[in-house]
A = this chain, B = another copy of it.
Amino acid sequence: MFIAMNRFKVARGREAEFEEIWRGRKTRLDEMEGFTGFQLLRGPEREDHTLYASHSTWTNRELFTAWTKSEQFRDSHRNAGGAKGLYLGPPDFEGFEAVITEQASSPPRREDAP
């Protein structure tokens, strides 16, 4: 299992605008082999920004890399910028390989958020 995260420092007060950009995106991730899930995550609030992370899960790193070279990737990153002052610095990519995995044995599938 591979997790791809891109960390975004969003200027305080611009959070709704940032989330709106993502809601309007057509990721086309669902067309990709090896894609298992995507979340846009809102993280901790820091002094001058709120940390967000895009978080996608893949069966392995190779299939993630194939996506980054695909037409679907280029499509979904068109107009991905956002207005001036939205970000404090460029996004910071981090790729992670799972070395230990535990699943809940009786999955409490009572997701109260979509």
Contacts and interface: CB of A to CB of B under 8 A. Distances in A.
Given A37-B103, A99-B40, A51 B3 contact: no
Given A59-B110, A60-B113, A53 B104 contact: no
A65 interface: no
A113 B98 contact: yes
Interface string A1-33: 101000000000000000100110001011001
Contacts of A40: 98-100
B96 A60 contact: no
Interface of A: 1, 3, 19, 22-23, 27, 29-30, 33-44, 51, 53, 55, 59-60, 94-105, 107-108, 110-114
